A = this chain, B = another copy of it.
Amino acid sequence: MDILRGERLSEFSDEAANYTSSIDSDKFLVSPTIKINKAHILMLVKKGIIDQREGFSCIKALEEIPKEMEMDPKLEDVHMNVEALVVKEVGENIGGQLNLAKSRNDQVATAIRMTLREFILDISSAIIRLREAILQKCKEHLDTVMPGYTHLQHAQPVTLAHHLLAHHDSLMRDEERLTGVYERVNLSPMGACALATTGFEIDRVMVSELLGFDGLVENSIDAVSTRDFAVEAISNLAILMTDLSRFAEELIFWSSHEFSIVEMPDEYASTSSIMPQKKNPVVVELVRAKTSNVYGNLLASLSILKALPYSYNLDLQELTHHIWDACQTALSTLDIFAHMLKKMKFNTKRLLELAQSEMSTATELADTIVRELGIPFRTAHRIVGLLVRRALADDKSLDRVVKEDLDGIVKATTRKGIHIPNEAKQKALDTIENVKIRSVRGGPSPKEVARMLKQRSNALKNYNWVSKKREALKISHDRLAEEISKLKEVVDV
C-alpha cells in the first residue's frame, strides 16, 4: 500500500504521478534530505519524543541510503522515497516515526536552502577565481593603450588594464550581493511542519544548529510559504550573467576580423562543418545566450510566486528546478570564462593602431584650448567640432587640420589673435600622452590603474568569506556526526 495516500485516496493515475513528480529536481535534495532526517530524529530522541533505540535505527537506515539513490516517481518526491527506503529497511514500526513532527513542507524548504547555500559558496569561489584571472590580465596590459568606446565609437584612449578592471569591479559587486543573499538563505524552516508547527515539544533551534543554519525562519506559516530567498538568489545570478554577457559580447566583437583585437584559444573555439577556415568564438556566444536562460528562470520563478496564497501550494515545486538551472549556468559559465580568459591573446599592436586611427584625442584638444586660451569649454568643444568636420570633409587627419586650421578657427570664433603653443598641441594629440595625464582617481593612467590593481589584489589575498562560511558548516556537520556517535554508544550499551 502507498505509504502516503494510505487509506485516504484511491490510487494516483500514472499520468498524474508523472505530471506532478519532482524527482528530476529532487536529485539535488537527496543528501540534505537525509541529513535533515538525521538531525530531526536526533532532536526527537534528545527531547524524549521517540525512543533512543528506534531513533538510532532510523539514523542507521538513513546512513545507508546511497547519495545516488533511485527514486520512484509514484512516491512523488525525495521525501517519500527516503521514508519508503527507511521503512523498507527497519519496518514501519520504527521507520514510520520518520515524519513525526515534521512535514514535506518544512523539509523541502530546508533542503533547498541547504543545497542553495552550497551553490552560493561555489559560485562565490568561482567569481573570485575569475577576478584573479582578470587581474592577472590587467597586470600584463597596464600599458596597452586601446580606444575606449562609447556607443561603440572610439571615444577617448584608455588601456586594456583599465577596461578589464571595469569588468573586475562589476564582479566584485556581484560577489558582494551574494553574501547578502546567503544571510537570508541560511535560515532554518524546520519545525514549521505543514504550516503550524506541532503539538510535540520539539526544539527548532537544536535542529537548525545541527544543520549549520545561522537562525530560524521563525513564523511557521512564513517558513513554508516563502521562496523570496530563491528569487533573490536567481535575480542576483541574472545580474551576474548580465555582467558576463557584456564582457562576452565585447570578446565576440573583438575576435571578428574587423576588430582583430583578441585571439580565442583553440580549445574554446570551434570550426564549421562546411567552411574549413572558420574559427568561431562559440563559448562566449553561449555565455551570451545562456544569460537569457537565467532571465527565463527568474521570470518563471517570479510568475510562479505571484498571487500565490499562503501557505504551501504545489506551485512552489515548479520553482525549484529554476534555482538549480540558474546556479549551474552561473557556475559553469564563471569557470569556463576564467580558464578561457587565461589563454586569450590580446593583440596589443592592433589596439594601439586603433587607438591612434580615429580622433579620440579630440576631448583633450578641447580641454587644452580651454587651458591655454582661457575660453569656455563649450566654445572649445565647438571649435574642435569644426576641426573634426573639416578633417572628415577633406579626408585629413586631425593632426593635420589642427596644424593647418586651428589658429584661424580660433580667431574667427573668438575674434582674438591668440595662439596655442605647438608643444601643447602635440601633447593634446598624442594618444599615449592622453592616457598618462588621466591620472585622476579611477582613471586610465598606468600609475592609477596600477594602484587600483594592487588594492584589488590585496583584497583578494585577504578574502576569506567563503572559507569562513565553509568552516562554520563543517563544524555543525561534525557536531551532528559526533552526536550520532554518542547516541550509538548509548544504544550499543
Inter-chain contacts of A386 with B (CB < 8 A): 6-8
Bound-state CA distance A285–B151 (Å) is: 8
- Check if A104 is an interface residue, CB within 8 A of chain B: yes
Q: Mark the stretch among A59-67, A240-248, A482-490 that contacts chain B.
A: A240-248
Q: Is the CB of B306 within 8 A of A276?
A: no
Q: Is the CB of B15 within 8 A of A339?
A: yes
Bound-state CA distance A363–B201 (Å) is: 15
Copies of this chain, whole number:
4
Interface size on A, residues (CB 8 A): 202
Can you list 18 A-B pairs, Cβ within 8 angstroms, ordered by A? A5-B270, A7-B389, A76-B270, A93-B375, A147-B257, A148-B221, A152-B313, A153-B255, A153-B278, A155-B278, A158-B195, A166-B225, A167-B222, A199-B367, A235-B236, A271-B385, A275-B362, A296-B322
- Check if A139 is an interface residue, CB within 8 A of chain B: no
Q: Is the CB of A253 within 8 A of B152?
A: yes
Residue of B nearest to A205 (CB): B441
Residue of B nearest to A437 (CB): B199
Query: How far, in Å, is A124 (CB) from chain B's closest CB?
Result: 15
7 closest cross-chain pairs (CB), A and B: A96-B376, A296-B300, A96-B378, A197-B443, A296-B296, A8-B385, A289-B315
Interface residues of A in 51-99 (CB under 8 A from B): 76, 79-80, 83, 87, 92-99
Bound-state CA distance A177–B235 (Å) is: 12
Interface residues of A in 10-27 (CB under 8 A from B): 10-13, 15-16, 18-20
Bound-state CA distance A148–B315 (Å) is: 17
- Check if A360 is an interface residue, CB within 8 A of chain B: yes
Residue of B nearest to A322 (CB): B296
Interface residues of A in 176-219 (CB under 8 A from B): 176-177, 180, 184, 191-202, 204-205, 216-219
With A83-B378, A195-B150, A197-B443: A246-B304 Cβ-Cβ less than 8 Å: no
- Check if A440 is an interface residue, CB within 8 A of chain B: yes
